[in-house]
Structures are given as C-alpha cells and as structure tokens.
Amino acid sequence: MGIRKLKPTSPGSRTQEIADYAELTAAKPHKKLTEGKKRVSGRNNRGRVTIRFRGGGHKRRYRVVDFRRDKHGVPAKVATVEYDPNRSARICLLHYADGEKRYILWPAGLEVGAEVVSGPASPVNVGNSLPLAQIPLGTVIHNIELKIGGGGQMVRSAGAGGQLMAKEGDYCQVKLPSGEQRRVHVNCYATIGRLGNSDHSNRSDGKAGRTRWLGRRPHNRGVTMNPVDHPMGGGEGKSSGGRHPCTPWGVPTKGYKTRNNKRTDGMIVRRRNRK
C-alpha cells in the first residue's frame, strides 16, 4: 500500500503518481456479489441535471458491501482484498463459517486469513463490529451507524478513522475525521480500526484523461462564463467577478450555512469548522 511514481515518458506521466495496489490479492470481484450500475450522469429521476460536470467515465459493476454487519456470532475469514471502483477505500471478501460470502470495508492491518466476527460479545480486534457500548474509550473506529440497525453511514472513505471520546447515559461522543464531535446512541454498531488505502489523498492524476475516466467532465469557473450563464460572468478582459463568490443561482458559496436539519442539531457537540 503506497504511491508509485511513473517514469516521465510522456507529458501525462511526468507528474503522475498512482497507487501501487500492493495490498490487493484478487484481480476480479466475486460475481455473485456484484450488480449492474446504471449511469445517471448527474441527472435526477426527471432527467434534469442536478449536479453539473458529470458524465462519461469507465463502465462499473457495483460491489454489494455489507455495512450492517448483522451476522452476529458467526466467525468469518478474510479471503481476498480487492479494488472497488465505487469508493476510495478497499474492500475485502469474507468467507463465513456457514458458507455465506460478503464484502466489507477493508481496515488497515487486516491480513488475508485473519478471522473477524460481529456482535456484542466480539473481542475488540481490527475488523470486528461491536455496539459502541462495548467499545473502550479512545478506540479508533469506522463504518459508524447513525440509526440503530441502519448500517454504517459515517467514516467510510480511504484512510478515515473516528475516535470514541466519551459515554454518558444512552449516548456516546464520537470524534469524526472532519473534527466534528457528534452524539451517537450506544446501541449503534461500529467497526474497529482505521480504513486502509491511506495514501489515496496523495495521488496525482497527472492528466485530464484520468479525471474523465472517473466520470468527471471539465469544470469551468463562473468568471469565465457570460453574464447570461452566471452572475459572476462577463466583464472586459479577465474580470474577477465584482461580487462575492456564488452559484449560478446567486447562492453564496463561501461561509454560507447550508445545513437545514433541526431535528439532529442537538446531536452535534462540536462543529467541524469551529475555530
């Protein structure tokens, strides 16, 4: 697991730095745990663009990942560590003792052949899934549930790891990778360890083509557009916009609060952008 720098045999490879994929042990996924993935290209169910600059990209198969870890008390062995084109983290294939196979997110340090298990009585080992009530304070965790039994929703990207900070009554405090501290119910499950592929953020695409392979089209700034297309467009020469940064619809984009979920405001103990 690391970064490999390519030889400068072309302008595109001169600054290109990619993953070495040294941790992977299988080239193809387990076919029964894959599904077809329809391309949406930033469109909603009405066919209208809701996310600009999306489209194209390489065809993908979706890997069905077990975020719930609800197979309690049944041990499983790690069979393979695999690449997943749908996320930055790696996934690993588990062979359960009863014959079932499932994918989970691969935490750093979990070797092929290791045994993992989920449930309240599980030991606090890397890859095991337990309720927050059974996890010691200070433990690094990932794949954290927001709702009891709803499956992990937080801390799922490459190299990410949260930390269990405190317990009080029915809730505990978890520090997220962004710096935010949030209250989570003690009966919510989380997985022990930090996710692998921590060098993902150190990659350098080297050329625009690699970005297109991921389905991202060229992103042009508002100040380069015409006034009919963007509030910051137009002007003689290279104009800086003449107003605070905003979206094409006039909504401020720097320092403007967009959160609108009063139902869970009380769960946030410390915000990520607090100085």
Q: How confident is the model at residue 193 (pLDDT cuts 50, 70, 90)?
A: very high
* C-alpha to C-alpha distance for 18 and 159, rounded to whole angstroms: 16
Containing 213, the helix (H) or strand (E) segment is helix 208-213
**What is the percentage of the chain residues whose pLDDT exceeds 70?**
99
pLDDT (mean) for 199-223: 95
* C-alpha to C-alpha distance for 127 and 78, rounded to whole angstroms: 10
Residue 179 pLDDT > 80 = yes
Buried b (16+ CB within 10 A) or exposed e, 240-251: ebeeeebeeeee
* C-alpha to C-alpha distance for 118 and 73, rounded to whole angstroms: 6
pLDDT (mean) for 201-222: 95
pLDDT given for residue 226 in this prediction: 95
pLDDT given for residue 187 in this prediction: 97
pLDDT (mean) for 145-171: 97
Residue 209 pLDDT > 70 = yes
pLDDT given for residue 258 in this prediction: 87
pLDDT given for residue 275 in this prediction: 56
Domain positions in the chain:
3-201
Per residue in 102-142, pLDDT (tens digit) is 999 999 999 999 999 999 999 999 999 999 999 999 999 99
pLDDT (mean) for 245-255: 94
Per residue in 64-99, pLDDT (tens digit) is 999 999 999 999 999 999 999 999 999 999 999 999
Are the C-beta atoms of residues 141 and 163 closer than 8 Å to each other? yes
Burial class from Cβ neighbours inside 10 Å (0-12, 13-18, 19+) for residue 66 reads buried
Q: What CATH topology corresponds to 3-201?
A: OB fold (Dihydrolipoamide Acetyltransferase, E2P) (2.40.50)
Q: Comparing C-alpha atoms, which of 175, 151, 153 is closest to residue 163? A: 175
Mean pLDDT score across all residues of the chain = 95
pTM for the model stands at: 0.93
pLDDT given for residue 241 in this prediction: 86
* C-alpha to C-alpha distance for 190 and 90, rounded to whole angstroms: 17
